[in-house]
Amino acid sequence: MAQEAFDRAYDAVLARWPAGTTTTLVPTPYGGTHLISHGPADAPPVLLLPGGGATATGWYGTAAALGATHRVHAVDLVGEPGRSVPDPSRPIRTVQDLSGWLDALLDALGTAGGAADGPVGLVGHSYGAWIALHHALAAPDRVARLVLLDPTNCFTGYAPRFLLRALPVLLRPTPAGNTALLDWETRGAPLDPDWRRLQALTATVPTVRPVSGPRPAPERLAALKPPTLVLLAGRSRVHDPRAVERRARTAVPGVVTEALADATHFTLPVAAPPGTHARIARHFTH
């Protein structure tokens, strides 16, 4: 019953995607990776990585903005809520495994006739930004451009008040706990009701322990190769966005940072302020 309710909620948000959207389960050594794809098949590819505990469905606004010029693939992270299917014989346990999984995914997309045999764009939100940044550092020749959307644990740590609120929910997730954390962090901002319901129901489906680790070392950040845009949620309660911005500017030569004044961490990307998706698209077209 729980899986059926989750699937109905997933499909309700998936219905928000533009016409012509397709879904695929791509085999990798770490299991099948579920993609929601939009845009011309021969256009430059951009991968969208959601935050921890989220699914690929919430990227529909970004996909609509990018889909005229790029082939967008929103990813259900293996082991997280969604429709990817982890291989229990080869779990993702390290940052190196995460990069290996992304490499295998890109290889599979290239073999399937797409444009993913060359460098791709990466967009990550929250934990997805942490994954994207690590991959850009590990495989710089595979990443054309990088967008980090209110990135967590990339430049600074979490706010103590957020950890106090989030840890009980992370340790014993429930739909009510998920919703309470979401409403607290977003200060009750209006959200897509179908997406809000889906976020509540992520607590009811099996997941595996996500990979965690330290922030990248300063010398690695100083060598970050792909042109990078960091968009900060000005009202984020997850961390201090001003501290994140200062650290990113100090650590990464040439980085572009912008504050989204009306955004909180969890209003991104599904309820991003006007112009956010277009700003992401401009990073990949200029």
The secondary structure of the chain, three-state, reads CHHHHHHHHHHHHHCCCCCCCEEEEEEECCEEEEEEEECCCCCCEEEEECCCCCCHHHHHHHHHHHCCCCEEEEECCCCCCCCCEECCCCCCCCHHHHHHHHHHHHHHHHHCCCCCCCCEEEEEECHHHHHHHHHHHHCHHHEEEEEEECCCCCCCCCCHHHHHHHHHHHHCCCHHHHHHHHHHHHCCCCCCHHHHHHHHHHHHCCCCCCCCCCCCCHHHHHCCCCCEEEEEECCCCCCCHHHHHHHHHHHCCCCEEEEECCCCHHHCCCCCCCCHHHHHHHHHHC
pTM above 0.85, yes or no: yes
What percentage of the chain carries pLDDT values higher than 90? 93
191-215 pLDDT tens trace: 999 999 999 999 999 999 889 888 9
165-191 pLDDT tens trace: 999 999 999 999 999 999 999 999 999
Mean pLDDT along residues 216-236: 97
State residue 116's pLDDT score: 56
Is a pLDDT exceeding 60 seen at residue 113? no
